[in-house]
Structure 1
Amino acid sequence: MIAVDLNRSPSPRYRPLFVLLLLVCLPGLATAACEKTLRWDDDPPFSMQTADGGVVGIAIDLNRAVLARLGCQTKLRKLPWARALKELELGRVDILHGAFRRPERERYAYFSGTVLPPSRNILFARTSTWGQWPSERLLDLQHTAFRLGAQTNVSYGTDYLTLMSDPAFAARVSTATNRTSLWRMVSKGRIDGVIADENTGRYEIHQLGFDAQIKPTAIVVSSDAAEVAFSKRTNDPAFVQLYVDVLSEFVADGRYQQIVQRYVMP
Structure 2
Amino acid sequence: MMRTPFLQRLAGWLTPLLLPLTAQAGNPACPQGPLAIAYYDFGVAYHQGKGYDVDLVRELARRLDCPIRAETDYPRIRALKQLELGLADIGSSTLITPERQRYLWLYPYNHSKNMVLLPRASRADSLDDLLRSPSLRWGAIRGYRHSPAQDRLLNDLAQQHKLVIAESEDDLYRMLVNGLVDVVLAHPISYDPWFRAHHAEQLVNARDFFPDGETIAGSIALSKARFTPAAAELWHQELRKMYRDGALRAILRRYLSEASVDQVLKQPLE
TM-score w.r.t. length of structure 1 = 0.78
Is there any run of 5+ residues in structure 2 with no aligned partner, and where? 1-18, 259-270
Query: Which residue pairs with 1:225 in the alignment?
Result: 217
Query: Which residue pairs with 1:159 in the alignment?
Result: 149
Query: Which residue pairs with 2:116 in the alignment?
Result: 123
The count of residues paired between Structure 1 and Structure 2 equals 233
Counterparts of 1:170 and 1:199, CA distance in 2 = 30
Query: Which residue pairs with 1:134 in the alignment?
Result: 125
Query: Which residue pairs with 1:265 in the alignment?
Result: 257
Q: In structure 1, what residue type is equivalent to 2:89?
A: D
Aligned-residue Cα RMSD (Å) equals: 2.6
Q: Over residues 14-73 of structure 1, what are the superposed CA-to-partner deviations in whole Å (9 max), with x where a residue is unaligned? A: xxxxxxxxx999515149833222222332311122xxxxx2211110111011111112
Task: State whether structure 2 residue 108 is matched by structure 1 residue 98.
Answer: no
- SS of the counterpart of 1:212? helix
Query: Which residue pairs with 1:238 in the alignment?
Result: 230
Larger Rg: 2
Counterparts of 2:98 and 2:139, CA distance in 1 = 33
Q: 1:64 to 1:170 in 2, by over 3 A?
A: farther
Counterparts of 1:1-266 in structure 2, within 5 Å, are 27-29=23-25, 30=27, 33-49=32-48, 55-74=49-68, 75-112=70-107, 114=108, 116-128=109-121, 130-131=122-123, 133-135=124-126, 137=127, 141-144=130-133, 145-166=135-156, 168=158, 171-220=161-210, 221-266=213-258
- SS of the counterpart of 2:227? coil
Sequence identity percentage: 25
Q: In structure 2, what residue type is equivalent to 1:226?
A: G
TM-score w.r.t. length of structure 2 = 0.77
Q: 1:32 to 1:244 in 2, by over 3 A?
A: closer
- SS of the counterpart of 1:226? strand
Q: In structure 1, what residue type is equivalent to 2:39?
A: W
Counterparts of 1:32 and 1:239, CA distance in 2 = 7
Query: Which residue pairs with 2:263 in the alignment?
Result: none
Is there any run of 5+ residues in structure 1 with no aligned partner, and where? 1-22, 50-54
Q: Over residues 142-195 of structure 1, what are the superposed CA-to-partner deviations in whole Å (9 max), with x where a residue is unaligned? A: 453332223333322122122133155663223334211111111110011221
Q: CA deviation at 1:107?
A: 2.3
Counterparts of 2:185 and 2:172, CA distance in 1 = 10
